[in-house]
Amino acid sequence: MVLENWKTNRFVFWVMSLPGTFWLVVFFLAPLSLVWILSFGEKTGILTIDITWTFDNYIRSFEAVYLKVIWKSIWISFLATVLCLIIAYPISIAISFAPNKWKPILLLAVILPFWINLLIRTYALIAVLRTRGYVNFTLEWFWDSANAILAFIGLGSFQLLGAEFDALPLLYNDFAVIAGLVYVFMPFMVLPLYANVEKLDKSYLEASLDLGAGHWRTLRSVVIPLTMPGIISGVILVFIPALGTFLIPDLLGGTNAQMIGNVIERQFKAANDWPFGSALSFLLMYVTFGALALRALLSREGGGMDV
């Protein structure tokens, strides 16, 4: 597709690009640069920060403990993203192959939880996962029934299933954090995937099956490569916010559920160390921005599917 050189139509170019550029520069880059400048500052008092253009904050953010937290955040976000992908992919395929009258309903069913406030959804998740929550209630019911059956066939006194129902520790640990992340970010993965699978030319699949490939092979060799832009969009839309999240580890996590978002949040609140918090945030941003730039470089003019 041929791009027009901006010079051929200057007026149109300026009219179209000015609002976005203005907003970005004044209401995004300007505030962000204030924080960027802060990251080179030093606390000289409770409220005062002196911009001494020091690298101390960045040096401090490379200490072992912070790198450990960043690594853990990357790891947890990665797991959550992969899980999201594995769950969302079949869902988007199912929706796109569903009969037409079901499609909007199914899509809406996926998006609807998204319209409920994040905090409320997380608290609701707690009610499901905790020791006396739904999941454990259901498991306990199974346990009781199994015990009843065992007693019925005469094996009751052996306590084959243990003396007492051991509730699964599903909350206040890393599992809960990942489950929470998947639960919250699912629509972000389903929508781009669906958009891509929907545009897929079904005749490719037909052809592949005609040529004798099984369903799995078709999936691997035809569907996935063709929907790769959607996959990448979805992965980016989930991984990056997950990396910076602090509410979910705060509410669902256990004693070691600390992600870099929590550390940053603490710097801006309890620790009252805004320069350091700024430095940490920018470190996080440089990393993600670098990865994005790398991807953009590798995929050049991809037809506008970049995020």
Partner 1 sequence: MTRRSPLLRPTRRNFMSGIAGVAGVAAGLTFLPRGTMADEEKKLSFYNWDTYIGETTLDDFNKATGIEAKMDLYADNAELFAKLKEGNPGYDVIVPTNDYVERMLKAEILETLDHSMIPNMSNLETAFQDANFDPGRAHTVPYMWGTIGIGYRGKKVEGVPASWKWLYDSDKYAGKIALLGDALTVIGHAAKYLGHSLNTKDPAQIKQAEELIIAQKKHIKVFANDNGQDLLLSGEVNLTQEWNGDILQVMEEDDDIGYVVPTEGGVLWQDCMCIPKGAPHPKNAHAFMNFILDADVGAAIADFIQYATPNRAAKGKMEDSYTKNPAIFPTEETLAKCEPALYLGEEATRLYDEAWTRIKAA
Partner 2 sequence: MPADTSIQNAAPVGVGPGKRSWWSAKSELGPLDYARRWWMKLFLGVMFAMLYAPIFTLMMFSFNDSKRNVVWKGFTFKYYIKAWNNDSLFLAFTNSLTIAVLSTILSTIIGGMVALTLWRFRFPGKPAYEGFMALPIVVPEICMGVAMLVFFARIGWPAGMPWPLNLSAITIAHVAFSFPFVAVVVRARMSGFNRELEEAAKDLGASEWQTFRDVILPFMKPGLIAGALLAFTLSLDDFVITFFTSGPDTVTFPVKVYSMVRFSVTPEVNAASTLLIVITVIATALAMKIQSPDKGPAH
- Interface residues toward partner 1, by CB under 8 A: 43, 45-47, 65-66, 68-69, 72, 103-104, 107-108, 130-132, 169, 171-172, 191, 194-196, 198-199, 201, 250, 253-258, 262-263, 266-273
Q: How far is Cα 48 from Cα 35, in angstroms, rounded to an integer?
A: 14
The smaller minimum CB distance to partner 1, of residues 131 and 221, is found at 131
CB of 15 to partner 1, least distance (A): 25
* Residue 56 CB neighbours (<10 A): 14
CB of 91 to partner 1, least distance (A): 15
Quote the tokens at residue 79.
């797991």
Quote the tokens at residue 61.
């953010």
Q: How far is Cα 66 from Cα 68, in angstroms, rounded to an integer?
A: 5
The smaller minimum CB distance to partner 2, of residues 253 and 261, is found at 261
Q: How far is Cα 23 from Cα 27, in angstroms, rounded to an integer?
A: 5
Instruction: Please name which of 14, 11, 77 lies closest in space to residue 240, comparing C-alpha atoms.
Output: 77
- Tell me which of partner 1, partner 2, none is bound by residue 263, counting a contact when its beta carbon lies within the kind-specific cut-off of 5 to 8 angstroms: partner 1
* Residue 118 CB neighbours (<10 A): 14
- Tell me which of partner 2, partner 1, none is bound by residue 47, counting a contact when its beta carbon lies within the kind-specific cut-off of 5 to 8 angstroms: partner 1
The smaller minimum CB distance to partner 2, of residues 127 and 146, is found at 127
CB of 198 to partner 1, least distance (A): 6
The smaller minimum CB distance to partner 2, of residues 122 and 173, is found at 122
- Tell me which of partner 2, partner 1, none is bound by residue 161, counting a contact when its beta carbon lies within the kind-specific cut-off of 5 to 8 angstroms: none
CB of 161 to partner 2, least distance (A): 24
The smaller minimum CB distance to partner 2, of residues 140 and 306, is found at 306
- Tell me which of partner 1, partner 2, none is bound by residue 168, counting a contact when its beta carbon lies within the kind-specific cut-off of 5 to 8 angstroms: none
- Tell me which of partner 2, partner 1, none is bound by residue 119, counting a contact when its beta carbon lies within the kind-specific cut-off of 5 to 8 angstroms: partner 2
CB of 151 to partner 2, least distance (A): 28
- Tell me which of partner 2, partner 1, none is bound by residue 186, counting a contact when its beta carbon lies within the kind-specific cut-off of 5 to 8 angstroms: partner 2
The torsion of the CA quartet 217, 223, 226, 228, rounded to 10 degrees, works out to: -100
Instruction: Please name which of 122, 67, 79, 61 lies closest in space to residue 242, comparing C-alpha atoms.
Output: 79
> What would the DSSP string read from start to end of 246-295?
-HHHHHH--TT---HHHHHHHHHTTS--HHHHHHHHHHHHHHHHHHHHHH
